[in-house]
Structures are given as C-alpha cells and as structure tokens.
C-alpha cells in the first residue's frame, strides 16, 4: 500500500505497490489522505516528501489511479459512481509544502500527484504524462489545469491532447522539475531540499507558500496588500522575535512555529 515516516521535521510518504506499478487504489488513497491530514496538523513537521518505491522490475513513481479497481466499481457496482479518493486528496487544502521525489514514470494520477506538490526532484529515468485521452478520460483531478499553470501552455496542450509523456529532461527545461538527478538520487536530493526548507521559520514557510499561490494572476495592488497582510501576521509571532534575536546573537534560531 504505502508507508509513512517522520525524519526530524520532514515527513516522507512512499507509495509501495510495485506489483501494480505503484497504482493508487482506494486503500492507498485513504492512507495518503489520512497521512497528509496528520502531517498538516502536526506543527513539528515543516515539509512533506512523497515518492514511489523503485523496487520491482520497472522503477515507477506511480501509474496513477488503479484502473482495474475503477473498472470493477464502474461496471460491477454503482454505474453512477465515478469517484475516486485520489481526487479527494488532490483537491484538499493544506499549509505544508510538499516535494515530489520522482524516480520513474509519473503518469495519469501519478502526474497529478506530482502537480499537487510544490517542488519536484526527478531522476533522468522519469517521465511525466496525462494519458487519460487514450482511455476516453480527462485528467480531472488537476492534471489539465495544473499542468497548464506550471509549464508553457503549448507544451501542456501537447501533453493533454496527445496523451504522450515528456521526458524528465524536457520537464526540467520547461520548469516543471526543480532538480534533475541521476537514477536512485531523487529521494536523497529531495530530502536535502526539504532540509533547506525546514531550516527556516515554519510560519514564514507556510505563509510564503500561501501568498505565492493566492496571488497568481491577481493585480499587483492586490498582491501587495496580501503580502503586507502576511508581513503583519508574521511580525506578531514569537518566531519573528526569535529570528531577530538569533541574528543579533549570531546563533542558529530555535523555531517554535508560533
């Protein structure tokens, strides 16, 4: 299914279904949802990392939703049931930043899971695609619109209309991937990136993420207003004083998250 561990102030979730190309079935989706909610509610965790096991014959981040399960539900039960819990996760609100550590293809819902994350570290054996059109589907759990927000529109349109994946190298070139690494290095490098984030004030990290997302496409005046609201919020925190004290005293800050 999947497993979850905490390393200091970084949480790591690993999809672990190598026999099914790390496809996400309902139990895995529910586990991911519960773990993500627990991580978001835990003030000691600053960053989350999600990856897929590379065990098995073909290393894979995730092939997306388990289509065998979806077919059984669609044609074996309620014919109006087109839901899948993976979509619930990908629509959920959160404050914790997430890094996708991708060491193999991320396709369909697997790619949508990557797009749900804030940062991406990928190995050169990775690829990214939303092949839903090949099965008379739409990447409805964020794939189409999030891809168009994160990479040039023409490249996103190519992915959405052909269903063909793009290589990790191309994904890095168009800005989807933050760091491109050798096979086997995605998770270690993602953890290094997580540590760089987690060294900062947790409130400032979460607030900066929120401002960046909330001000996409808004006029500058509104963006400045939201930015200054964030500044005023942080100035009232204990960690703001700690940041200044640590600077003056020439020591590492000890963040409390409040």
DSSP notation for 181-234: E-TT-HHHHHHHHHHHHHTS-HHHHHHHHHHHHHTTT--HHHHHHHHHHHHHHH
Q: Are strands 166-167 and 119-123 parallel, antiparallel or unpaired?
A: unpaired
Indicate which residue of 69, 93, 112, 192 is catalytic.
112
Indicate which residue of 72, 93, 132, 158 is catalytic.
132
Q: CA-CA distance, 78 to 204, in Å (whole number)?
A: 46
Q: Examine the residue annotation and report whether 69 is marked as an active-site residue of this protein.
A: no
Q: Examine the residue annotation and report whether 192 is marked as an active-site residue of this protein.
A: no
- Burial category of 78 from C-beta neighbours within 10 Å (exposed 0-12, middle 13-18, buried 19 and up): exposed
User: 189 is written with which tokens?
Assistant: 């490098």
Q: Return left, alpha or beta for 229; rule: phi > 0 is left, psi -120 to 50 is alpha, else beta.
A: alpha
Q: CA-CA distance, 45 to 160, in Å (whole number)?
A: 35
Which residues are tagged catalytic?
A: 112, 132
């Amino acid at each position: 299914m999947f497993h979850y561990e905490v390393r200091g102030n970084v949480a790591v979730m690993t999809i672990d279904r190598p026999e099914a190309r790390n496809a996400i079935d309902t139990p895995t989706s529910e586990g991911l949802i519960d773990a993500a909610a627990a991580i978001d509610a835990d003030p000691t965790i600053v960053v989350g990392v999600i990856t897929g096991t590379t065990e098995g014959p073909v290393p894979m981040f995730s092939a997306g939703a388990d289509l065998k399960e979806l077919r059984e539900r669609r044609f074996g039960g309620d014919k109006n049931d087109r839901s899948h819990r993976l979509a619930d996760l990908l629509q959920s609100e959160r404050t914790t930043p997430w890094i996708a550590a991708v060491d193999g293809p991320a396709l369909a819902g697997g790619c949508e899971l990557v797009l749900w994350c804030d940062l991406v570290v990928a190995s050169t054996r990775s690829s990214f695609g939303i092949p839903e059109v090949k099965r008379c589907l739409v990447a409805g759990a964020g794939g189409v619109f999030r891809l168009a927000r994160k990479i040039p529109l023409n490249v996103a349109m190519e992915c959405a209309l052909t269903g063909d994946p793009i290589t990790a190298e191309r994904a890095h070139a168009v800005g989807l991937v933050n760091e491109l690494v050798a096979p086997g290095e995605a998770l270690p490098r993602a953890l290094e990136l997580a540590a760089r984030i987690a060294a900062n004030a947790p409130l400032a990290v979460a607030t900066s993420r929120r401002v960046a997302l909330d001000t996409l496409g808004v006029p500058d005046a509104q963006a400045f207003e939201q930015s200054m609201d964030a500044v005023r919020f942080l100035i009232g925190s204990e960690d703001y004083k700690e940041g200044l004290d640590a600077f003056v005293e020439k020591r590492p800050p000890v963040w409390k998250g409040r």
